[in-house]
Chain A
Amino acid sequence: MAEAAIELKGISKNFGSVRANRDIDLKIAPGTIHGIIGENGAGKSTLMSILYGFYQADRGEIFVNGERAVIHASNDAIARGIGMVHQHFMLVHNFTVLENVILGAEGEPLLKTSIAKARSELERLERDYGLEVDPDAVIEDLPVGLQQRVEILKALFRGADILILDEPTGVLTPAEAEHLFRILRQLKDEGKTIVLITHKLREIMAVTDNVSVMRQGALVATRKTEETTVEELAELMVGRRVLLRVEKGDAHPGDFVLSVKNLTVEDMRGVKMVDDVSLDVRAGEIVGIAGVAGNGQTELLETITGMRKAVSGTVTLDGAPVELTGEADPTDLRRRGMAHVPEDRHNMGLVLPFEENENAILGYHWQDKYVNGPFLDIEAIRRDAQEKIEKYDIRPTDARLKTANFSGGNQQKIVLAREMEQDPKVLIVGQPTRGVDVGAIEFIHKRLIDMRDQGKAVLLVSVELDEIRSLSDRILVMFAGRIVGERGPDATEGELGLLMAGVEEKEAAE
């Protein structure tokens, strides 16, 4: 066998008392796609960050192409031909694609000459790898799928032979993900080595050659992908058998709890984001909204939850209207029993520099149990947070840890715990399992079904068709701001896919 593209020997990394990586040995063969999976907090991102020079390992060695590499900063990694695509892209929003690609790698004193050079290099890369994107487009005008391509181009432009992607498909639509995998395969054929972190076992099966499983900081297994199964991987990750499909009984819908009538919402430029949408959610049912990201789901959720103004239409919560014109008050809606798990947990659902317990009361900090007059009841808040941490298996179990130091999936659980534990009448959930591991998905799905069975109304928005199909009692499909169809839970993926792509109802039925 050829020299390993990357070899890690005995890598260990602690954060305080958390053993994020323990004694990890890993070989990644050149010209392969190597998957890394593991529960939330298993240490995947930490390991990759060590490889990319964001963190220093406490112990252990890194070899790149057989040579011992000392990687103190990302520049060292780049010099060794390692590139990384982060899940949250690090692009300058008002720069063009080309400007972003050369940023920090201009290489010439004059911008003009380096731009000219870069343009031809970029064209070559795009041609070779099928990474089409307009070099002069401004980043903020591009959909996420294309922004991600720019990130990949950035890495390749810097001469990356080894490409690390940390949960690249979390924000992509199925079609975009498919395209990404085509690109990855092509890169592999060109001899590049790819490390792919993902929570989606299907993707592992689809593109990787080898897969390694991490659990609680340790690397517990490495398998050839063709010799393993989704079930085995899930079990290796979690340490027990996992239900990959939710079990649920029939719904017993009750009264109408949430009604949306002819709702129209425009963005700042006056473009209709939500166009004449009507829907009802009854107590004891889960209504799922399927759709490709960016078709108005975000705006719909934000309007219903009082964070955005509507142009026209009405929303009724438990028989009483929700203010949609002026300053709607999210606190008032919470009092009336509406809980909201926002799609954007990082900027909206959490304040990352806060301690965990401070986030566990976000939006509910006015409740009597958390305050004494104008003062916060710190004791009560921390005790309450600790209970939720135990109940939702949030790790590490430290309510005083800064929220940003929790892994992505655990951050998601912090939000879910907060909203679900309010015993709401209606639960509005956006992308509940984005970035969450299979064990946690199972848990979250179970909790959502429990909520339904307790007679809560649940409105679920997700770009994961699987999730929509396995949870929803009714499925609405949203396209270009409109509800373009309603289906039962037995709708096929293909049927929904067509609706999501905007193919007219009648055509789709044929």
Chain B
Amino acid sequence: MSAPYAKLPAWADYGLIPLINLTVAFIVAGLVVLLIGENPLRAAVILVDGAIGRGQAIAYTLYYATSFIFTGLAVAVAFHSSLFNIGGEGQAYVGGLGVALVCLAFDSVLPWWLTFPLAILGAALFGAAWALIPAYFQAKRGSHIVITTIMFNFIAASLMVYLLVEVLKPAGSQAPQTRTFLEGGQLPKLNWMLEAMGFAVRSAPLNVSFLLALVAAFLVWVLIWRTRLGYEIRMRGHSPKAARYAGVSEVRVIIVTMLISGALAGMMALNPVMGDQNRLQIDFVTGAGFVGIAVALMGRSHPAGIVPAAILFGMLYQGGAELAFEMPGISRDMIVIIQGLVILFAGALEHMFRPSLQALFASFSPRAVGAEAKQGESA
């Protein structure tokens, strides 16, 4: 009971705090923009407009968000069991292999809506398999999952380069990538959805895996809060000792949690590989695995928080690209800095403003503030 934190009302907890964090992130980013001699207000306008100003922009934003929802969910599921899966990047990469193999095998014989479920399975299986070894070492040997999953990101990168260059590349081609999938290996776009709402979309990669991501978010909620397995996952997450007392096998929970986490990360590959590029190419994950960590942190590991957080990061990606294009003074690297600041304030420093806000609330209306659980016996 060392932290005398009073609890905030839900609206402040889930609305105000993220808002403050974001605002601070943008103020600091604005200062950086100012520092390199550009107008931060104009930059902000370009960024927002570039992210949601036109139908085209919205479609791109949602396309990026799709990937982040998957990787964010992956991190969140593991979080609930107090496992820090940093390997989303590698799991998604290897998941792409699963997608590609299914597409290469069936794109000429099956329509997309039959290839899709198989590809989902392939992505999930390969992603899960890539999480299995770190999970096994954590469960049986206590090797820290953070270390092993990071290592597996590197192994995945090397493995995929090898496979693409030596095995999957069509003979005679120069580029380290598979052949382009046929119609049966391509996911339909969702641009009609935005058009139905009155937005004009020229061509954008937003595809049906966005809907799959939303379904996955709902299923993760069901898993964590409505199933026996989710109950056991949370139990081990809060108190390994209580889990042991309750007869919940730690080994099993760790492995199953990581398999689910890996499967979700793997499914991220559906979006770029099958939904956009229609082939497997080098480095298609482009950091989405890591963004997933920030998304999960910001979304507080709850699907209802993860989806908006993923969309926010989608906006940053899309708007940032626009910004780099419009303002010559701002390079792609600057965008990465801005994204980094958001991650820093919204994710890593999530609790920075909490105590002062709580004190503020307490002094306004102490009664509005329940109090955070004391761990002490004498509670």
Distance in Å from the Cβ of A368 to the closest Cβ of chain B? 12
Which of B101-109, B126-134, B221-229 is found at the contact surface with chain A? B221-229
B374 neighbours in A (Cβ, 8 Å)? 45, 49, 54, 404
* Residue with the greatest number of chain A CB neighbours at <10 A, chosen from B249, B367, B377: B377
B contact residues around A182 at 8 Å (CB) = none
B372 to chain A, nearest CB (A): 8
A478 at the interface (CB under 8 A from B): no
The closest CB in chain A to the CB of B373 belongs to A404
- Pair B231/A352 contact, Cβ less than 8 Å: no
Q: What is the bound-complex CA distance between A304 and B222, given in angstroms?
A: 36
Residue B378, interface by CB 8 Å: yes
Q: Name the distance in Å between A445's Cβ and chain B's nearest Cβ.
A: 21
B1 within 8 A of A: yes
Contact-size category for B: 35 or more
Q: Is B245's CB under 8 angstroms from A363's CB?
A: yes
Which residues 219-266 of B sit at the A interface, judged by CB distance below 8 A?
Answer: 222, 226-229, 231-232, 234-235, 238-239, 241-242, 244-247, 249
A348 and B359 contact, CB distance less than 8 A: no
> Are B376 and A363 in contact, with the CB atoms below 8 A?
no
Contacting chain B: which of A222-230, A279-287, A373-381, A488-496?
Answer: A373-381
Q: Please tell me if the beta carbons of B375 and A88 are within 8 angstroms of each other in the complex.
A: yes
Does A53 count as interface, using CB distance less than 8 angstroms?
yes
Docked Cα-Cα span, A194 to B52, in Å, equals 64
Q: Which residue of B lies closest to A331 (CB)?
A: B247
Residues of B within 8 A of A346 (CB): 375, 377
Most buried by A among B247, B362, B375: B247
In the complex, the answer to whether B246 meets A16 with C-beta atoms within 8 Å is: no
Q: Does B15 contact A (CB under 8 A)?
A: no
Interface size of A as a range: 35 or more
- Residue B370 is within 8 A (CB to CB) of chain A in the complex: yes
A151 to chain B, nearest CB (A): 12
> Does any Cβ of B come within 8 Å of A405's Cβ?
yes
Residue among A16, A167, A306, A405 facing the most chain B CB atoms (10 A cut-off)? A405
Q: Does B366 contact A (CB under 8 A)?
A: yes
Rounded to whole angstroms, the CA-CA distance of A54 and B362 in the bound complex is: 12
How far is A86 from B378 in the complex, measured between Cα atoms in Å? 7
List the B side residues contacting A331 at CB < 8 Å. 246-247
* Segment of A55-63, A111-119, A464-472, A479-487 engaged in the interface with chain B: A55-63
Contact check, B4 vs A349: say whether CB atoms are below 8 A apart: no
B2 within 8 A of A: yes
Q: Is the CB of B379 within 8 A of A342?
A: no
Q: Would A351 and B238 be within 8 Å (CB), given that A58-B367, A74-B4 are in contact?
A: yes
A347 within 8 A of B: yes
Decide yes or no: A363 and B378 within 8 Å by CB, A57-B366, A375-B226 being known contacts.
no
Interface flag for A174 (CB, 8 Å): no
Interface residues of A in 351-388 (CB under 8 A from B): 351-354, 358, 362-363, 365-366, 371, 374-376, 378
Residues of B within 8 A of A306 (CB): 247
**B373 and A402 contacting across the interface, CB-CB below 8 Å:** yes
How far apart sit A411 and B246, CA to CA, in the bound complex (Å)? 17
Query: B337-379 toward A: CB 8 Å interface, digit per residue (1/0)?
Result: 0000000000000000000000100110011001101111111
| Per-residue interface assignment for chain A, residues 37 to 74, with 1 indicating a CB less than 8 Å from any chain B CB and 0 otherwise | 00000000100010001111110000000000000111
**Residue numbers in A under 8 Å from B6 (CB-CB):** 55-56
Task: Please judge, given known A-B contacts A347-B239, A348-B245, A351-B235, whether A375 and B228 are in contact too, CB under 8 Å.
Answer: yes
Nearest residue, chain B, Cβ from A370: B228
**In the complex, residue of chain A having the shortest beta-carbon distance to the beta carbon of B229:** A374
A170, A351, A376, A408: which contacts B379 (Cβ < 8 A)? A408
Q: Which A residues are in CB contact (< 8 Å) with B222?
A: 375
A90 within 8 A of partner (CB): yes
Contacts of A197 in B (CB 8 A): 378
Q: Is A424 part of the binding interface, using a Cβ–Cβ cutoff of 8 Å?
A: no
Task: Please list 10 pairs of residues, one from A and one from B, whose beta carbons are closer than 8 Å in the complex, sorted by A's number.
Answer: A45-B378, A58-B367, A88-B378, A90-B2, A167-B378, A327-B249, A342-B245, A348-B244, A354-B235, A362-B246
| Chain B contact residues, CB within 8 Å of chain A | 1-2, 4, 6, 222, 226-229, 231-232, 234-235, 238-239, 241-242, 244-247, 249, 359, 362-363, 366-367, 370-371, 373-379
